[in-house]
Every structure is written in C-alpha cells, then in structure tokens.
Structure 1
Amino acid sequence: MFTVRRHSPELIGPAKPTPRELKPLSDIDDQDSLRVYIPAIQFYQHQPKLQNKNPASVIKEALAKVLVFYYPFAGRLKEGPSRKLMVDCSDEGVLFIEAEANVTLKQFGDALYPPFPCVEELLCDDRGSKGFLDSPLLLIQVTRLLCGGFIFSIQLNHTISDAPGLVQFMTALGEMAQGASKPSTLPVWQRDLLFARNPPHVTCTHHEYDEVEDTNDKIIQLDDMAHRSFFFGPIEVSSLRKYVPSYLKRCSTFEVLTACLWRCRTIALQPNPEEEMRVTFAVSARARFNPPIPVGYYGNCFASPVAISTAKDLSTKPLAHALELVMKAKREVNEDYMRSVADLMVIKGRPPLTIGKSFVVSDLTQVGFYLVDFGWGKPKYGGVAKAGVGALQGILSMCIPFTNHKGESGIMVSIGLPTASMETFTNELNNMLAQDNKNLVLQEHNSHFRPRI
C-alpha cells in the first residue's frame, strides 16, 4: 500500500477574460449515457534536467493559459427544456489538486496498464455533494512521486468531449506547459454541426438504444471477478487472421480482435444457446461527414453500433460469423447514421445506451494519449485509468497500444470475467492460436496486488 497526500483543491480559471455566454451542446453530446465522468491517467518519468521544476506548478500555470482558448471547460452545465444541456461559460474554473505519493514509478512495475493499484487515490474526485450540473467539467490531479516522476490524472465530463477531444485538449495543455503561446490546433466549438434536423426523423436502425432485458447480472457477479490482460503482437494477430476467409481479408485488426473476444467470452460464459449476445463498440465519425467535421472540433462525434448473434451461433460457427457481423455494424456508421442518432435523441427523450446482454469493446490504440508531453517526454503509460465506470463495469474490454519486454509493438486487451469463466476464456483463446503462442496471457492482475514500499 502507498499513501497519497493531497493539497487543498483549487479552481483554476482562464488567465485572461473570456466571453460570458450560454453554449448549447450538440444532440450527440447530451446523450443520457454520456452523463458520466471518464478518467484518464498518465505516468511520467523523472527528467534530471527538470529536477528543479515542480510539474504540478508548471501544469497549473499552463492550465490557466490553455483555458483562454478552451474556456467552456471552465464553465458549468445547465439543463434546459427537454433536458437539453448547455454550458454556462461562467469561468468558475477547473478543479485542480496537487499531491504527493510515497512511492516511486518503478514500484508500479515495468509493464504499466490497468488496473492500477490504489487508482482512486490518484484521481481527483473532490466534487463533494455537488450534482452533475453544478460540478467542474474537468478534475485534474498531479501527483509527484519519490523518484521525481509524476502522475497526471484527469476526469472529464463526457458530455462535453469524447476521447479524441480530450487528447486534443491535453496536447494543447502540454504545448502551453512547454512555452507555446497558443495551441498548434485551435479548438472548434460548432456544436450546431450535430444538432438534430428540423423536423427530426430517424432514418436508420439503432439497436444500441433497444429496450432489452438486462441479463448481465445473471452471469456477471462483480464481487467474484477475475481481471486479466492479454498481449496481441504481430504473431498473435497473424495467427488470428488465418481464420479470416478471403472475402473478409480487408478487416482491421480491431475488428478481428473484437470478433475473437466476443466469441471466446460467449463460450466462457456458457449462456443459454438461444440467448441474444451483443457487442458494442465506439466508431469515430469525424471523417464520415461531407464535408468532414472541422479539425479542432472537440465535441463528441462517435456512434456505438451493435452486432447481434445468438450464443449458439457465436460458439459453434467459425470466427468469420462474428467478424462479418462486427464489420457490417461498423460500416453502417456514416453521416446519415449520425444525424439519425441526433434525431432519435430528440424524439425519444435521450434514451440510454443499451447495456443489457452487451459486451463493450473500446479501441484506444489510435487516440494518442501516449503522445501527450508536458515537457517530461512521452508517458510510460497514457490512457484510461480503469476498465469501466458505472454500468460498464464487468462488461468492458479496452484495447490499448503496448510494447512488450521484447520490444514488440502490439495491443494490450483487458477483460473481466467471473473467476470460474476466466480459465475457459483463456483456454479457448489459446486454442485459436498456434502452439508456440501459449504465452499470450501477459499477467493476471490480482485485486490484492500493491507495489512494494
């Protein structure tokens, strides 16, 4: 166990006066399912040439400067008619905490990936009794370590940005921390680009908002979960691609992994053969508009399509069955699909994303958390802080970029399953790979693990 000593929280506002205005969010932004805070975390090594600089002070000063450009982040949410969300650009500020931990970066281990020990101590969540509408939109904590390194964590109100939007802001913050006078990519608000049409009319099928019975609690017991991470390097991906028929050869690595995980997870859980099994994943739509969404746009711009199959078909048919369903669902996301989602939000009163019977896979390999530099170089790890928040606990798998001890670049995939199902999942996954790839499982994370002090 290690301890974290937090300083008193501060509210950091823009360094210069900014417009006082009310800015509506888009109808993609203010979905019910996005009314959560998503945590990201970055681990940075000690840099001898910067040993006289306090990273918390550097980042805090840069934060005030970057908020001149991203001033809506310093505001608060308001709710209008029909639960329509808008940002009151009040300059009330972003919540910032400086902290120290009696641990070194090395004690977290050579391979950094979620779940992290004592992660809640490293995340700023000092909102007290304030509600969703009254809270800061960003919560930042900079924790200095005994070795001179530090941990930067940020919690984002998901309604104001998606992961690419958050990375765009963090990149700008890093640029300002290194002396830039303005971000290299200037922020673009323009949430009207994703307002519902007038009149709104749903033109596509959106299974991601179906009303279905939630059977997850029958097979997912959060008090009896095993968590493992699996490394897929070039050899493992090549092995999986041997199962792909010629007519599906253009599939992406993410699509193959998603199909594989969905199939192995279903076999491991052993549901009723006729049970409907779903897999949901986020698809960025920024380049799927004509003209494309402007560079610098930092609002939510993604859809969450769904592939559906019976447990029997997933378990007994070749991988191509699951893969074809995943590819088809992903292909459906285009400009019309996004506008149909916005219209559905208005017509149906912003229904939540369907979680029942679902498995959620999140691809963070291309987002760029691992490139954010505050002047201390690239992080040893950059990305999500934990696997799932709220209703996604136990059903979310994350794909993050990772380099193993051999220097091979690949993808680390985390998954949580009931303890009794994890061994079956691992065996099924390994059976899909060549015999010399039996070392696929990199490490099992145990909830009792703590770095040694």
Structure 2
Amino acid sequence: MSVTFKGCYTVKPMEPTWCGRLALSEWDQTGIITHVPTMYFYRPSGDSSTIAATLRDSLSRILVPFYPLAGRLQWTDENNGRLELECNAMGVKFIEAESSLTLDDLGDFSPCSEYQHLTPSVDYTLPIHEWPLFLVQLTRFACGGVCISLQFSHAVGDGPSALHFISEWARLTRGEPLQTMPFLDRKVLHAGEPPLMKANQGDRGFKLPSLLLDKKEEKHRTEKKKKNSLATLKVSKSQVEKLRKEANASLDGSNNGRGYTRYETITGHMWRSACKARRHIHDQPTLLGVSVDARRRMQPPLPKGYFGNASFDVVATGVAGDLVSKPLGYASGRIREAIEKVNDEYVRSEIEFLKGQRDLKKFQDLHAIRSEDGDFFGDPNLCVVSWLALPIYGVDFGWGKEVFMGPGTHDSDGDSLLLPGPDGDGSLLIPICLQEIHMEAFKKHFYEGIM
C-alpha cells in the first residue's frame, strides 16, 4: 500500500490542565501496557481538505477534560516495574498522510499486514516516558475518503475507556457538548495505596498463564516463529442461534435456565475448532483468555465514566480431547466458569495480590513482547476479546458515520476479537490471527460446525 506522509503534529490541551503524578491502579500496570489500534473509514461529502484542521482543533479541546491522555508514563523511582502517569500536557501525536488508493480498492476491509501503513507507529525502543499515550493518523484516499487510525495506550485505559474518549471527541467535533465527563480518580481501585497485608507467595492470586504447557516439546519455539495469517470470519444471526441451541442442549438445572450467551457459545466453538486445526493430542492442555469488564460487577459499581482499566483477564482451562469430543456446551461451560469468577471479591483480591508483589515486570506484556516464549498468545492457546457490548459503530465526526470500523493490525497467533456485524442484523465478525499452516483448517472446522 502506497502511503505518503504529509505532516506530523503535537496536539496539546487547548486550556491549562492539572499537572502532577497520577497514581495508576495495579490493573493499569499489568497485562498490555503498550498501545491498541483501531481504524475508522469514512466517505465524507464535500471538501476533505479541512478535516485535518477540524480534528486537530477538537482534539485539543477534548484533551482538556481527558488530560491524562496528554501526559506520559513514568517508572517510579524504585526498580519494581511500577508506573505512574505524569500529567504534564506534553500532548498527543497527529499524523497526516495520503494514499493513491481508493476505499473501493480495500475491498471488504479485511485486516491485512498492509494496514500498518495506515496506523501510526510507536517507537518502543525509546524510553517509556517518551511514548505518546494517544496517536492519530489521518489518511486521505484518492476518492476523497479518509481513514482515521488510532493508537490508544492500554496503560491509560481499556476498551470501554477508549471508546468513551473517541465518542466524546466525535461529539465535540460535531459541535455538541460532552455527554459523560471522565471519572479520573483511580483511588476507587486503591491506586497508589500500600497493600492491606503482606503478600504470601502461596496465596491464591493473579497468575499470568504460561504458554509453555508443552515445554517438553523441543519444537515449541520453532513452531511459534512460523508465519501468521489474518482473516475475518462472518457469522449470520441464524448461524449464531444454531450454535446457541446446540450449546444450550446440554444445560441442566444448575444454570437456573440461563442459556449461554453469544460470546460463550461462539468462543467455545472457536476453541474447539482451534484444537482440531492445530491437531492437538487428546491430553494437550489449552487455555482460553477472556477479558471481563468489572465496572458493574463491583460493589458498589465503579462511577459512571470511570476512565482507566477495569477489564479483568481470566483464563478458561481445558484439555483438547475433552473440548473436541464433548458437546459444545462443555466448552461454553468452561468459559462461563471463568467469567463468573469476576465479582467484587475477586477484583479486590487480585489487586491486593499484585500490590504485594515486589516487581510487576513479569505481569506486563511489554516484557512478554521482548521475550522468546513468555507471551500468552499462540498454540496451544487462544484469546478471544469481546467488543459485543462496546459502542464501536456510529462514530460521527460531523461528516457521517463510518463505512467500516475494525481493529488495526493484530498479528499474534491466537489473538482474536468478537464484533457485532455493522448492519445491526445480529450477525458477528471475528477478526482472528493464527499461524498460516492452521488458518484454512480452522476455517474449515469452524464453518463445518455451523452449516
């Protein structure tokens, strides 16, 4: 994809904002602390030449209430892997680019490696205090269409927080007032406070799942380095309901008659299909990573507009042979068990466990990215993040709603998303990355199970 870069700007808050160090919760500092990409494609009517100036102006204004995004991460003075957010109004990065392609040249917008040219890059070789926390790339196409591609720091907020910011930015660009002010005080999750008690390493607590369930296999590292492939699966409403009926057929009275959700059903089917495609032996252990929004699961619930990380990672466990041979409801049930663990007691105990750790580096994906074999993704595991409840569509900056919204480049084996179809017809989209040698087999097993 041919993309020409036309300019790069630093956008700062339009008005003075509070400056100082903002304590981060333990959950902000663990898991992914790099950036998460998303992309929006538009066909604006009229002259698109003023879009960049309009977006920069409204971005400068929205950074006033969302001022933490204009700051920088800082390691604390101790060498313990802990971070703070320096609110210093250093600003965010805004890039302008052009492409000779048209939106029609992109077909159905299926994710591909070429999207990296549309997505602003972050130089992770720089010290962490030099990383912008939010980056925007505006790319104009020859047809007059545009792509707005975003990189949002996961250390600052999770998916609901990112979508809150993006929707309010669009609202402000349209000339409308903010709908929900961000709640910035992370002390509701005891950010910056000492642990209540000294941690016992034997206590139950948060443990990063290890990929290396099959360490004894010498080929594991070689297998992980094989080429990955991207695809987007499409599932109709009728296919979703067919799978739910199949999963719910195995329910008994212990579930109080509550059928499996779309997420539990589709993800269970994906888990089984991945086991088949990867040709796991019967006793191969496998993990499935699940992200659960705890905002309404805590007592009391987190304040409306909470701006930070409140999506907690849990892991469903299974053995490939059981997942494949037993009814779909078995896999869905394993996933439900993991999700239902996330309640007020669970959240507070996991945060307390992390507070008691001397060093958080081993719980951060930044270090997993740089290691040979420490990350979660990859054979024999899978991670399926749900965007089904997020307001991902209808982001109107003043020139109409997007023609397509989706993730940027997700290129880790086993990394996948579950999105609602853009037409609101009950269909689903599943962007997924698998090793190239497994992708066609995965699609075959996935669709055979719902035909």
Give the alignment's TM-score, normalised by structure 1. Answer: 0.86
Distance 1:399 1:222 in 2: 25
Question: Pairwise mapping of residues 76-95 of structure 1 onto structure 2 (< 5 A)?
Answer: 76-80=72-76, 81=78, 82-95=80-93
CA contact (8 A) 2:110 2:231 kept: no
Asked whether 1:385 is paired with 2:408, we answer yes
Partner of 1:98: 96
Identity of aligned residues (%): 25
Off by >4 Å, runs of 4+ in structure 1:
126-129, 200-208, 214-222
CA distance in 2, matches of 1:428, 1:8: 46
Between the aligned partners of 1:363 and 1:233, the Cα distance in structure 2 is 17
Q: Name the residue aligned to 1:188.
A: 183
Q: What corresponds to 1:395 in structure 2?
A: 414
2:415/2:434 contact within 8 Å kept: no
Counterpart pick for 2:376 among 342, 355, 373: 355
CA distance in 1, matches of 2:213, 2:103: 41
Query: Which residue of the other structure, out of 19, 41, 52, is the alignment partner of 1:56?
Result: 52
CA contact (8 A) 1:207 1:306 kept: no
- Shift in alpha-carbon separation, 1:320–1:26, aligned structure 2, 3 A: same
State which of 66, 71, 82 in structure 2 corresponds to 1:75.
Answer: 71
Query: 2:289·2:316 contact (CA, 8 Å) conserved in 1?
Result: yes
Q: Counterparts of 1:228-307 in structure 2 under 5 Å?
A: 228-244=231-247, 245-247=250-252, 250-307=259-316
CA contact (8 A) 1:26 1:193 kept: no
What are the superposed Cα offsets for residues 172-230 of structure 1, whole Å, 9 maximum, x if unpaired?
111121123x4211111111111265236689855752456265945854543343322
Aligned equivalents of 2:221, 2:271: Cα separation in 1: 18
C-alpha distance in 2 between matches for 1:137 and 1:301: 18
DSSP-derived class of the 1:417 partner:
strand
Structure 2 residue 403 is the aligned partner of structure 1 residue 410:
no
- Structure 1 stretch 200-209 or stretch 315-324: which is displaced more? 200-209
- Over the residues paired in the alignment, what is the CA RMSD in angstroms? 2.5
Letter in 1 for 2:2: T
The answer (yes or no) to whether the contact 1:289–1:335 under 8 Å persists in 2 is yes
Instruction: Work out whether residues 285 and 334 of structure 1, in 8 Å CA contact, stay in contact via their aligned partners in 2.
Output: yes
Offset, 1:425: 2.5
> In 1, Cα distance between the equivalents of 2:292 and 2:338?
10
Give the equivalent residue in structure 2 for 1:421. 438
Q: CA contact under 8 A between 2:74 and 2:128: conserved in structure 1?
A: no
5+ residue gaps, structure 2: 366-374
Distance 2:413 2:222 in 1: 10
The C-alpha deviation readout for 1:348-375, integer Å capped at 9, x for no partner, is 3324276164210011122222222111
SS at match of 1:209: coil
Aligned counterpart in structure 2 of residue 114 of structure 1, from 98, 111, 114: 111
1:12–1:93 contact (8 Å) kept in structure 2: yes
Structure 1: where are the runs of 5+ without partners?
A: 438-453
Q: Residues 2-24 of structure 1: CA distance to partner in whole angstroms, max 9, x if unpaired?
A: 32121232111110111111111
For the residues of structure 2 that align with 1:189 and 1:328, how far apart are their CA atoms?
32
The whole-number CA distance in structure 1 between the counterparts of 2:71 and 2:382 is 34
- Structure 1 contact 200–344 (Cα < 8 Å) conserved: no
**Alignment deviations for residues 93-117 of structure 1 (CA, whole Å, 9 cap, x no partner):** 10111111111112111x23423x6
Query: Structure 2-normalised TM-score?
Result: 0.86
**How far apart are the structure 2 equivalents of 1:418 and 1:254?**
23
Number of residue pairs the alignment of both structures matches: 421
Of 256-265 and 289-298, more deviation after overlay is shown by 289-298
Query: Counterparts of 1:204 and 1:43 in 2: how far apart (Å)?
Result: 48
Equivalent of 2:144 in 143, 148, 163: 148
Contact 1:78–1:88 at 8 Å: present in 2 too? yes
1:402 CA drift (Å): 2.0
